[in-house]
Amino acid sequence: MKTAILLISEKGLGIARQLVREFPQTTLVSTTVQADDCQSVSSYDLFLKEHFHRFDAFLFIGAMGICVRSIAPYIQDKHADPAVVCIDSTGRYVIPVLSGHIGGANELAQDVAGALGAEAVVTTQSDRTGLWALDTLGQPNGWTCLPADATGRPLSPTEESHRALNRLIGLFVKQVPTLLYIGVRVPGVEKLEQSCPSHVTLRYGRFEDIDLKPYELLLLLTPFCHDTAGVPALYYIPRVLHAGIGLAHEAGPTDEVIARLNDTLLEHRLQPAAIADYATICEKREEPVVKQLQTRQTVHFYTTDELKTVDVPTPSEVVQKHMGTPSVSEAAALLASDGGRLVLDKQKGSNYTLAVAIGPGVLTDHGHIEIVGAGPGDPDLISVRGRQMLEKADLILYAGSLVPRELTHCAKPGATVRSSASMNLEEQFALMKEFYDRGQFIVRLHTGDPCIYGAIQEQMNYFDRYGMSYHITPGISSFQAAAAALKSQFTIPEKVQSIILTRGEGRTSMPPREKLHLLARSQSTMCIFLSAGIVDQVQAELLQEYPEDTPVAACYHLTWKDERIYRGVLKDLASIVKDNHLTLTTMIVVGEAIDNRQGLSRLYAHEFAHLYRNATDH
C-alpha cells in the first residue's frame, strides 16, 4: 500500500521510523521535524487536501481528535476513501479510524500493531463478534462481490447495489440462518470451511438440489447465476471461466459487440465477472474487439493446427472452409481451460460466436481427491493444509504401516478411514472411485512428501484416465527430518552445495547414469532411501568415491516415537545397520555435512568472526 505517516508530535519519531523500515512505499510527513527521511509540509490540512485520495493509507501518530478533525473535510465514500489508522504517541494502541474493511484499515491496524508490539483496537461489529466481513470476504482471492436481485441475477455495482450489500451485511450480523453454497474448488475455500460461523451451513454440488426454505440469507461462491427463490443473496464470483470467441472481420462497433458478449453470458446464467480470460484464433489478433478485450483481460491465441486437434460438439463446415479448423470458439475455450469442459456450447451472434469452458476439477458437482503428504511420521509435522484436508475428508485412505494411524484421528465424525496396506491398486482405485462418484472428498495419505518415492504416478495415471479431479498437498520429507534430527545443515558454503536424494539398486533397477558410485563422485550430501536391506552393496559403491572416514548416519523411524539414530563413518555403515537390526524405514545419510560446524556463508562470516573474537578475548 502507498502509505503516508503523519507525525503529529516529535515524540512519535522513533515509532514513525520503525514503521518506515517495516512497510515499503511509505512516506514520512511532518510540520515540525527537519530530517532527510522526512518530508516537511507547511500544514497537514494542505497536504491532505492535495493528497487524500492519492495514497492508499494514512497513519497518524498522535491524538485521535487531531486525526479525526484533519480528515473530516475530505471524507467522501467508503468505497473510495483511503484507510486511516491512528497510533497513540507511545505506540501502545493502534486504532482503525476510516475504511476499516473496504479500505483495509482493520487489516493494516493489525499489521502495524504486530510490527510495534502494540494492541490493535478494532471496533467493527463483525470483527468483535468473530464473523466474516462480507464486503471484503472475497478480496484476498480476487472474487467479485455482487448482491443479487429477487430473481438471482447479480446487480451492477451502483449506489443501489451498495445499499443492498449493507442490508445483507445487516442480516448476517444478526446471524440469521445462512447458506454458504460452494460451487467451485478454488484457493480460499479451505479458509472459509475452517472459519465458518455457527449460523452458516455449507453445501456443495448441484445448487438446484438444495432446499432453500430454511435460509434467510444465501452466500453463493459460483460463476453461475442461480434462482434464489426470493431469498436475499450475495454472490462471490471467482474468475474460473474461459471464453472462446470467433469474430467476423472488423466486427463492430467494438463496445456493442463486447456488450452483446456479456448479454449472451447472462442469458445463459453465466456471470461476466467470472471470465478469467478470452481465447481465439491467431488470425484475429488485430481485430478491434480483441484489442479492446486485451485492455481488460488476458487473451490467448491459438494456431489453426492447435484448434483443429480439439473435438467439439458443434463443428462448422463454414469455419473449416475459411479458417482451416472446424471450430474456433469452442476449441479455443477448451484449450484455454487446460483440459476442462464446456459449460456453454457455441452461441451465434450477428458477428461473433461465443463458447465457455471451465477447468477440470473446478466444479463441486463431483468428487475430489487430495493426495496429501503426511510428513515423516510425527502427527505434528503434517502441514496445516494437510491437516485441514484430513478434517474435511469423507474417505481417508492411508499408506498402512508407513503412516501412523494417529494422523487420522482428526477425521470428522462419520468419515471412513482405511489402511491400504492389505489392498492392491485395483482395490484402492475402486474404493476411491466409489466415494468420488458420490461427489465426496477423498484424502490419499502418503508418507513424507508424496512426490518423493511416493508411488503416486500410477494413481495419477488412473485419475487422468477417468477425468477425475485431484490435487497434491506436499509434505515434509524424511530427508528434511534427518537434517533436523542430526542438527546438521546439509550444505556447507563453498564446499558442499548439493543434496542428492536417491536409493540403492534393489528390486527396482537404477538407470545406468544414476548408479550410487557415479553419484558419489560429487561428494555431495547423499540421502539414501529404502536401502537398509542392501546396505553391503550401498557401502561398497559409496567407498569407491567417498573416503572411508566420511561421516554417516542411519536414521530409523524419523520423528516416530521409537526413532533411533546411529552415527559413525562410512567403513562401518553396514555393521551399524545390521547390528542394530534396522529395516527399510531407515534413511541413510552420507557426507561431511553431518555435524559440520565449519564454513560460513559470505553473508555471516564477518559477524560470526566478530563473535568468535569476543568469545576468545573473554
**pLDDT tens per residue across span 531-581:** 999 999 999 999 999 999 999 999 999 999 999 999 999 999 999 999 999
HSE-CB for 124 with a 13 A CA cutoff: 25
Strand-pair partners of 148:
154
Sheet of 3-7, strand order:
39-40, 26-30, 3-7, 57-61, 83-87, 93-98, 119-120
What are the residues whose beta carbons fall under 8 Å from the beta carbon of 166, sequence distance 6 or more?
none
Closest CA to 59 of 14, 115, 19: 19
What integer pLDDT is reported at residue 395 of this predicted model? 96
Angle, CA of 492, 495 and 497, to the nearest 5°: 65
DSSP secondary structure letters along 460-483: HHHHHHTT--EEEE----HHHHHH
What integer pLDDT is reported at residue 148 of this predicted model? 94
List, in sequence order, the alpha helices (H) in 382-488.
Answer: 384-392, 425-437, 457-465, 478-485
Dihedrals phi, psi of 133, to nearest 5 degrees: -90, 100
| Angstrom distance (rounded) from CA 27 to CA 59 | 10
- Residue 300's Cβ-count burial label (10 Å; 0-12, 13-18, 19+) is middle
Say if pTM beats, i.e. exceeds, 0.75.
no
What integer pLDDT is reported at residue 485 of this predicted model? 95
Given a cut of 50, the residues of the chain with pLDDT beneath it are: none
What integer pLDDT is reported at residue 535 of this predicted model? 95
What integer pLDDT is reported at residue 609 of this predicted model? 54
Dihedrals phi, psi of 192, to nearest 5 degrees: -65, -45
What integer pLDDT is reported at residue 364 of this predicted model? 85
Closest CA to 178 of 138, 238, 239, 228: 228
What integer pLDDT is reported at residue 536 of this predicted model? 95
What integer pLDDT is reported at residue 131 of this predicted model? 84
Q: Which long-range contacts (CB under 8 A, 24 or more apart) does 44-50 make?
A: 44/6, 44/8, 44/70, 45/70, 45/73, 47/4, 47/6, 48/73, 48/74, 49/73, 49/74
Strand-pair partners of 446:
373
Judge whether 350 and 246 are in contact, CB under 8 Å: no
Closest CA to 555 of 459, 490, 614, 610: 490
What integer pLDDT is reported at residue 605 of this predicted model? 53
Closest CA to 487 of 597, 592, 608: 597
Residue 169 grid cell: 451485511
Show the 3-state SS of 169-189: HHHHHCCCCEEEEECECCCCH
Judge whether 181 and 197 are in contact, CB under 8 Å: no
Three-state SS for 376? coil
Note the Cα 182 to chain centre separation in Å: 17
Residue 92 grid cell: 501502545
Determine the residue type at 513: R
End-to-end Cα spacing for the chain: 48
